[in-house]
A and B are shown apart, each in its own frame.
Chain A
Amino acid sequence: MANVRMHVLVCGGTGCTSSRSLEIVDALRAEIKAQGLAEEVKVVIAGCFGFCEKGPIVKISPDNTFYVQVTPEDAKEIVAEHIVKGRKVSRLLYVDPKTTEHISDSKHMDFYKKQLRIALRNCGFLDPENIGEYIARDGYMALGKALFEMTPKEVVDEVKKSGLRGRGGGGFPTGLKWEIAASYKADQKYVICNADEGDPGAFMDRSVLEGDPHSIIEAMAICGYAIGASKGVVYIRAEYPLAVERLQKAIVAARETGLLGNNILGSDFSFDIDMYYGAGAFVCGEETALIRSLQSERGEPTSKPPFPAESGFWGKPSNVNNVETFANIPVIFLKGAEWFASIGTAKSKGTKVFALAGKVNNVGLVEVPMGTTLREVIFDIGGGIRNGKKFKAAQTGGPSGGCLTEKFLDTPIDYDNLIAAGSMMGSGGMIVLDEDDCMVNVAKFYLGFTVEESCGKCTPCRVGNKRMLEMLEKISEGKATEKDLGRLRELAGIIKDTSLCGLGQTAPNPVLSTLDNFYDEYLAHVRDKRCPAGKCKSLMQYVIDPAKCKGCTMCAKVCPAGAISGKVKEPHVINQDKCVKCGACFATCKFGAISKR
């Protein structure tokens, strides 16, 4: 083999792929070949780099140049300038918004500075479709260590000692879960990987499966050894085609290499993994509903106990962990439980991946040590609020969580602090809201999601949430009274108390949390029939300021409802009865004479 002197890593995650990153790969390869450098320079399709805001990302090693928002048309210049002549293409470098300086090494970008990547350690570094690259980076060594240097009990103890807690949302101690599953005797046990990521906005599990599928396979095998299971099952959303494809290829490669199958690495331990596809029902992220779905039954939760650890898949002891939880496992064995436990807060160890979205400058996947504050995540890593607007709240925990307001900006993020603040960790979706977001609307969005996703088994969840949604609609239409706010709260309590599974028990949380933190905003809707953020259409009016209106007639021309009248060169007026609030006039007026009220 010739001397490969340079690796060009191109993001092959779902986000960048949809921005033509695979065309960039083709263009780079063609250009490199044309320059006669195919032996010297290797182009690698890597997993997600996390900085989705600036995708597609192209990173060049070993000089660590990080190109952002690259297009296939840029490939020629990158090859001709950087690869042939060693001159960085500065127009493709990241520009620090504060200093306007071009930054070429990602280590110096605010987005990456405060991150610590454990679960995402290999994403954006390895070619996920090449098991050899994973092995080169200590892949399957943790499994080897477990099989040859530790008893199953020691493996469980190591995970317990690490303090790792479930990353799917609940935060149950993983080691304890393994211990319970290990304690039951059975002819067959199962390791189940929950890859049914369903929170709106959360995509860390998808990125791990796309960028580092072997870490999940390895972790599941370690878990199998620990609890005495020879079979693994991945329950994955069929809507994640790229993750499905990469994991499938990885499982086949692991089998061909002998890292799945009988007598792994010559030990007595045998383990193999099957994949099952979910049809994308949110409730199937709940472990008992997931197991029923695996058994080709309706995806409805069952009452616990018995817990899956005692009687799970086909009535056998089963251990269910989520993707991100598994992604942490190999590192715990490579670096030791003590190392892992040294990161984070007293009761939440390690890191957490957040999918940062909403009104924040740097949208993307962010992995930070537990105990990092919301301010650091949103303002340092996230680069603050878009368009210089004011921060209003961060929604965490998806449809089960709540809103964290300004007063929680400096609270260290961990499982317990988030619950104390009236939200929860959830799977790590973090949606940032600004002053233009109406909190009634936000509550309505999440509740609408749970109403759609309720499996219908329990009346409080099936009917109750629907009634709550109707009340919220009434509020946003200005037809509700203060009494309704009391009723809303009462019904929320009943649904929480009487639903069987987590979906129903937590569905009212977005409503309760917004009621607690933004009661004034609710009051404005019901008492003054006003939406302070100007989002609720029924409560909003477009008005023309006669002092600013020049009578240019543009607004009257674009109004589809014929609601605007007035003579040329005289102030116009909007007939509120005819107005459909489409905003066309607002967008057309050149004089800023039309405002929302």
Chain B
Amino acid sequence: MKGCAVMDKVKSLDDLRKMKAAMQNATELREKGQNIDKLIEVKVSMATCGIAAGARETMAAMMDEATKRGIKNIVFTQSGCMGYCHSEPTVTIVRPGEEPVTFGEVKGKRITEIFDSYILKGELVDGIIPLSSKSIHD
């Protein structure tokens, strides 16, 4: 992204605002990283089995979905192997201030479902993997 080399001239304050809007995605990820606690964090599990089961495609599809719906307060990160090999690709969603919820077999239609209910409204959908384990961070 060599945005600066081909940049148009800004001839007014309005132009500058437009350029700011156009360039927003250049640094958006970093801004989001700084406020990650206040955003919906979608962690896609991307260990070998997850990737084999299509986690990469799931992440791309979920990012597209967020862009399509114009959802701004969301950030996509990845996590390692969760151990739920039976349900890959798995996605853990953390809504700000809430407990993380993990969804299994997230692909295709499930993605729109999760967006419609959990991401937008906080309503649970089928296919949640109950977290029965504790980690040393709990």
Chain A contact residues, CB within 8 Å of chain B: 1-7, 9, 40, 42, 61-64, 84-87, 125-126, 129-133, 135-141, 144, 147-148, 253, 256-259, 265-266
Contact = CB atoms under 8 A, between A and B. Distances in A.
A136 B24 contact: yes
Q: Pick the 10 closest A-B CB pairs, nearest first.
A: A86-B78, A62-B33, A132-B3, A136-B23, A61-B33, A258-B9, A87-B80, A3-B63, A132-B23, A266-B12
Interface stretch (B43-51, B110-118, B124-132): B43-51
A125 to B, nearest CB: 6
B73 interface: no
Contact of B7 (A1, A141, A257): A257
B27 interface: yes
B46 A257 contact: no
A259 B23 contact: no
B13 A265 contact: yes
Interface in B10-52: 10-13, 15-16, 19-20, 23-34, 36, 43-48, 51
B76 interface: yes
B60 interface: yes
A64 B4 contact: no
Contact of A132 (B4, B11, B36, B75): B4
Contact of A86 (B13, B19, B25, B45): B45
Given A62-B33, A64-B33, A86-B47, A141 B20 contact: yes
Contacts of A130: 2-4, 26
B93 interface: no
Which residue of B8, B27, B44, B78 has the most chain A CB atoms within 10 A of its CB atom? Answer: B27
A2 B56 CA distance: 13
Interface of B: 1-4, 7-13, 15-16, 19-20, 23-34, 36, 43-48, 51, 59-60, 63-64, 67, 75-81
B4 A85 contact: no
Contacts of B23: 132-133, 135-136
Contacts of B44: 86
A64 B36 contact: yes
Given A253-B4, A265-B10, A266-B12, A136 B20 contact: yes
A144 B81 CA distance: 49
B46 A135 contact: no
Contacts of A144: 13, 16
A86 B78 CA distance: 5
Contact of A5 (B11, B47, B51, B59): B59
A424 B77 CA distance: 46
B59 A86 contact: no
Contacts of A61: 29-30, 32-33
B11 A136 contact: no
Given A144-B13, A265-B15, A132 B7 contact: yes
Nearest to A40: B60
Given A63-B36, A136-B27, 8 more contacts: A3-B60, A9-B30, A84-B51, A129-B4, A137-B27, A138-B20, A141-B16, A257-B8
A253 B8 CA distance: 11
Contacts of B78: 63, 85-86
B11 A133 contact: no
A9 B10 CA distance: 28
A5 B16 CA distance: 26
Contacts of A135: 16, 19-20, 23
A132 B27 CA distance: 9
Which residue of A6, A141, A258 has the most chain B CB atoms within 10 A of its CB atom? Answer: A258
A222 to B, nearest CB: 14
A359 to B, nearest CB: 33
Contacts of A265: 10-13, 15-16
B71 to A, nearest CB: 13
Contacts of B76: 5, 62
Contacts of B80: 85-87
